[in-house]
Structure 1
């Protein structure tokens, strides 16, 4: 599961057991990325809360846009864990098993909408070259039709996935197999 020992949902006790039970109820499974953080139940609780707020709760960006940002950031970080999870989520949310293929094809051929192009370019630049972000990047986002609230949400999602990818990569979190990767989207 990961390079450090951490309680599993089966052997958890105390606060972490309650945190895992809440995740299980809301998501259908406790992902390895969350189990790897089982030694810090308070931090894990905050992590899950931020994830749910940014990715699931109603917000200014569509769920598809959020998942696209997650995939682009994870791919840029070469984080297979995040890229696999969120490409599957994108396919589930779009009800299209070829959603990732279409995203990659459109991104490569520059056929995605101006809005999507701006969102994904911003997420990639924030991931790969954050010091190079300028006000011009924000202007490009506005010019593509994004509001300041949508820009903030995109920034927070890209930043969250940079954090989460580093947790996964830094702790050697392994992707779940089969049914263990079934979640409520």
Structure 2
């Protein structure tokens, strides 16, 4: 049970969904940010951006966000959950592009502290073909998901008990997006 009364059934609205509904004045802008970052027009695919969110959430040990964004990434990547699991376990040996690997290194550094991102990491990402937009948005996705992870865990919300819930949520995210989440 969440630390505060969110006024929702947490089995129906697990994780971040209860807090978003509890305070729609803040929930709406947060959903809009996620929609733009993870689904808007971009050189990185939605699956790759979801993978960055899942990777950061896993490093932050946020069960709900890691499970949700792993499922959303898997639904949008040809290699599915196998690739998501490989990236989460060890991005250096996962079968991903060198550019995505370099961006995940930046995301991992942001997860520790924004100050952990070095000029060398950025240069390495650029050398692999990353654009300034991709580097910018990788940093912003990682920073935003550190905030979302702390929001979910700080309020003590519960992840979905049934793993199938995440697969069903994936269908909504892929087909409708984040704006209609709650």
Which bracket does the TM-score occupy, shorter chain normalised?
0.7 to 0.9
The range that moved more, 96-105 or 154-163, is 96-105
Q: CA RMSD in A?
A: 2.3
Per-residue deviation at 1:180?
4.3
Counterparts of 1:97-176 in structure 2, within 5 Å, are: 97-104=81-88, 107=91, 109=93, 111-176=95-160
TM-score when normalising by structure 2: 0.80
CA separation of 1:101 and 1:151: change in aligned 2, threshold 3 A? same
Per-residue deviation at 1:104?
4.2
Kindly name which structure, 1 or 2, has the bigger radius of gyration based on alpha carbons: 1
TM-score when normalising by structure 1: 0.79
Is the Cα–Cα contact under 8 Å of residues 67 and 87 in structure 1 kept in the other structure? yes
1:50 alignment partner in structure 2: 33
Per-residue deviation at 1:8?
2.5
Which runs of no fewer than 5 residues in structure 1 stay unpaired?
Answer: 10-28
Aligned residues: 166
Distance (Å, rounded) in 2 between the aligned partners of 1:38 and 1:116: 33
Is the Cα–Cα contact under 8 Å of residues 2 and 36 in structure 1 kept in the other structure? no
State the secondary structure of the residue aligned to 1:6: coil
Q: Alpha-carbon deviations, 1:84-141, whole Å to 9, x = none?
A: 1111112111253423234346625365321121011110011113222232222121
State the secondary structure of the residue aligned to 1:60: coil
Distance (Å, rounded) in 1 between the aligned partners of 2:2 and 2:165: 15
